[in-house]
Chains A and B, each alone.
Chain A
Amino acid sequence: EAQVTQNPRYLITVTGKKLTVTCSQNMNHEYMSWYRQDPGLGLRQIYYSMNVEVTDKGDVPEGYKVSRKEKRNFPLILESPSPNQTSLYFCASTPGQGRGENEKLFFGSGTQLSVL
């Protein structure tokens, strides 16, 4: 089954404790991105990657890191989480920037993060 898999689904942590949220897709998509979803603000892009070893900042990158060492995986790293990073996070992929299908995003099921 074609899908984007995120883990964990729920995470409660404390301020300053490094964490990683994993994301994997099995569709051989080139383009992957991370979003956070907050009430009233909608989905905001954190980082995106157009291909292996190619990443760039989205609208709200502060406090986050990403890496793209393999095509299928795109982990989101919070080196020192703070309470304002409490949010619902989504990983998404699309067939590829080059194929012009950026609008057809496939989303994972989300990670609800609480930073105390």
Chain B
Amino acid sequence: QKEVEQDPGPLSVPEGAIVSLNCTYSNSAFQYFMWYRQYSRKGPELLMYTYSSGNKEDGRFTAQVDKSSKYISLFIRDSQPSDSATYLCAMTKTSYDKVIFGPGTSLSVIP
């Protein structure tokens, strides 16, 4: 079993839709949870990061962590064509440990 699993998609939604991207993980020691966005032919960029369980909101993006279920989500409201990218979940045990990445979900937002 992989340490971090993510539905690879591709996911295609109409502009304005609410998008839900999800990851599951197996190691209960993970405490820091991140979402990176990767545009085609570019390196990943940090989009959201949360510590432990709970929600974090930043504009149209909400990151949610449920440690009891070992499940994290990224919600995108009012999705835009510019949100079309691959979204990588990532996590680490402490701020000093190696970051483990999921394989990524490809999202297309159709105008």
Contacts and interface: CB of A to CB of B under 8 A. Distances in A.
Contacts of A97: 96
A103 B43 contact: no
A12 to B, nearest CB: 16
A42 B43 contact: no
Contacts of B103: 39-42
A58 B41 CA distance: 24
Interface in B62-79: none
A105 B43 CA distance: 10
Interface string A95-116: 0010011111111111000000
Interface of B: 4, 6, 8, 32, 34, 36, 41-46, 49, 88, 90, 92, 94-99, 101-104
Interface of A: 4, 39-45, 48, 58, 90, 92, 97, 100-110
